Chain A
Amino acid sequence: MSKQSKTIEEKMNELREMTAWFESEEFSLTEAADKFKQANALAKDIEKDLGELRNTVNELKQSFET
């Protein structure tokens, strides 16, 4: 993950909020360009994370025999 501080889910939620802003009542033309740049950067970050993330598979040492 390129940014450990946020999970993919958090980033996806952030992107959803950012893109929803463009359809919301809070939309302002003066802020639109900056918001678009931020959303675009976040989208690229998510794509990068999705491409790089790998799973860690641990086989437990415990025996479950009875």
Chain B
Amino acid sequence: MENLRLQVSEFIALTNQTLEYAYPSVEIEGEVSSFKVNQNKYVFFDLKDDEASVGCFMTVWQLRTPIEDGMKIIVTATPKLTNWGKFSLTVRALRPSGEGSLKKSFELLKAKLEKEGLFSPERKRLLPSLPKHIGVISSTQAAGYADFIKIVNDRFGGMTIDVAHVQVQGAAAADQIIKAIRYFNMLEQMPEVLVLVRGGGSADDLATFNDEQLVREIAASRIPVLTGIGHEVDVSLADMAADVRAATPSNAAQLLVPDRRELVADVRHRMHGVIPAIERRIADYHDDVVGQLDSALGAIDTRIDDVHNELTMTSRVLGEYNPQKVLARGYALVRGDVKPGANIDIERANDVITAEVKHVKAK
């Protein structure tokens, strides 16, 4: 190497080959400073600790977790000497390190996606009440998956459950889950619901579910998504973008399907309610018939009263035409040939007078 004479560009290429051989991929932890994005495409920042600093470069597309100055992160990168002789790290992936940075990154991305409406309640779809075809995305070796399947099988049957086995933690997890969501969404016969489950873990383990691209993929899924990630207290951005969030994988199973025992109880309850319903209807019929009979008897009574009243009235009118009543009022009834010299009988109420007609004069 001592006598090796190289052009500058050759030296840089050789150095990069050597670096690539020595450090094909390296993880470095440090604090972000001088973070900036150029042309909305290229990301530049320095990674530093108390004694040193190194420049970093990556594309916006690779930046799947928001960062800002002061945050502690771990980058997965390849060291590189640029054509201008500047040493930098070409970053392929990064993740926040430590509780404070994880929380900060979570809040930054949450605010960004919330502003875009990804978590709005209007976007949420209902889950099918009795699904026949379910897509599950999980690690089949995980305890959370086992809990989910056990409870689903215990609660309900007759379903086809297609399971996409993916990593649920680590650098590759988010991309694998994204691929599985896309796979289910492109099927001709899509499942009616996608269930993303993962048991409990550390904040770092669950950081996968705060990946921006994964959260966007969940929000964009044509199939409604149910998440059951971690424990009750673990709320990820994936949960917030999902149509329904379950507290745990077991809870996801409970929200997904009804309990067959409850359905049997419901069926029995319905049937037990039918007999009283029939009895009520018979009682209604009985009451109706009695009511109609009462009504008919009432109508007959009314008619009798009407006839009785009419008879009384007629009888009273007839009484007024009785001649004895007219005589009693002082009138007299005259009988006989009314001409001078003839006798006539004059009947009054209490006597009859015989009188001779003296004179007749026309009125």
A residues near B (Cβ < 8 Å) are: 1, 7-9, 12, 15-16, 19, 22-23, 27, 29, 32, 36, 39-40, 43, 46-47, 49-60, 62, 64-66
**Complex interface: stretch among B57-65, B113-121, B174-182:** B174-182
A19 contacts B172, CB within 8 Å? no
B residues near A (Cβ < 8 Å) are: 129-130, 132, 140, 149, 152-153, 156-166, 172, 175-177, 179-180, 183, 260, 263-264, 267-268, 270-271, 273-274, 277-278, 281-282, 285
Query: A19 — which chain B residues lie within 8 A by C-beta?
Result: 270-271, 273-274, 277
Closest B-chain residue to A47, C-beta based?
Answer: B264
Give, as a whole number of angstroms, the nearest-CB distance from B196 to chain A: 13
A66 contacts B163, CB within 8 Å? no
- Going nearest first, the 8 A-B pairs with the smallest beta carbon separation are A53-B157, A53-B158, A22-B277, A66-B175, A64-B176, A9-B130, A50-B260, A64-B179
Query: B157 — which chain A residues lie within 8 A by C-beta?
Result: 50, 52-55
Query: A58 — which chain B residues lie within 8 A by C-beta?
Result: 160-163
B267 contacts A64, CB within 8 Å? no
Closest A-chain residue to B268, C-beta based?
Answer: A43
B267 contacts A47, CB within 8 Å? yes
Given A39-B271, A55-B152, residue A62 in contact with residue B164 (CB < 8 A): yes
Given A12-B263, A53-B156, residue A29 in contact with residue B162 (CB < 8 A): no
B267 contacts A32, CB within 8 Å? no
A62 contacts B160, CB within 8 Å? no
B278 contacts A36, CB within 8 Å? yes
Give, as a whole number of angstroms, the nearest-CB distance from A57 to chain B: 5
Query: B160 — which chain A residues lie within 8 A by C-beta?
Result: 55-56, 58
Give, as a whole number of angstroms, the nearest-CB distance from A65 to chain B: 6
Give, as a whole number of angstroms, the nearest-CB distance from B114 to chain A: 28
Report 27 cross-chain contacts, Cβ distance below 8 Å, ordered by A residue. Answer: A1-B158, A8-B130, A15-B267, A19-B277, A22-B278, A29-B281, A29-B282, A32-B278, A32-B281, A47-B264, A50-B263, A50-B264, A51-B260, A52-B157, A53-B156, A55-B157, A56-B160, A57-B161, A57-B163, A59-B163, A60-B162, A60-B183, A64-B165, A64-B176, A64-B177, A65-B172, A66-B176
A54 contacts B140, CB within 8 Å? no
A15 contacts B163, CB within 8 Å? no
B180 touches which one: A36, A51, A64 (CB < 8 A)?
A64
Q: How far is the CA of A23 from the CA of B276 in the complex (A)?
A: 10
Sample of 17 more A-B contacts, CB < 8 Å, known A64-B176, A64-B177, A66-B179: A1-B158, A7-B130, A9-B129, A15-B267, A15-B270, A19-B271, A19-B274, A27-B281, A32-B278, A39-B274, A47-B268, A51-B264, A52-B157, A55-B158, A58-B160, A59-B140, A66-B176
Give, as a whole number of angstroms, the nearest-CB distance from A34 to chain B: 12
Closest B-chain residue to A33, C-beta based?
Answer: B278
A56 contacts B277, CB within 8 Å? no
Query: B260 — which chain A residues lie within 8 A by C-beta?
Result: 50-51, 53
Q: How far is the CA of A58 from the CA of B165 in the complex (A)?
A: 11
Query: B153 — which chain A residues lie within 8 A by C-beta?
Result: 54-55
Give, as a whole number of angstroms, the nearest-CB distance from B129 to chain A: 7
Q: How far is the CA of A9 from the CA of B158 in the complex (A)?
A: 11
Closest B-chain residue to A40, C-beta based?
Answer: B271
Given A19-B270, A46-B267, residue A64 in contact with residue B162 (CB < 8 A): no
Give, as a whole number of angstroms, the nearest-CB distance from A27 to chain B: 6
Query: A22 — which chain B residues lie within 8 A by C-beta?
Result: 274, 277-278, 281
Give, as a whole number of angstroms, the nearest-CB distance from A9 to chain B: 4
Give, as a whole number of angstroms, the nearest-CB distance from B192 to chain A: 12
B161 contacts A60, CB within 8 Å? no
B267 touches which one: A36, A43, A54, A65 (CB < 8 A)?
A43
Query: A50 — which chain B residues lie within 8 A by C-beta?
Result: 157, 260, 263-264
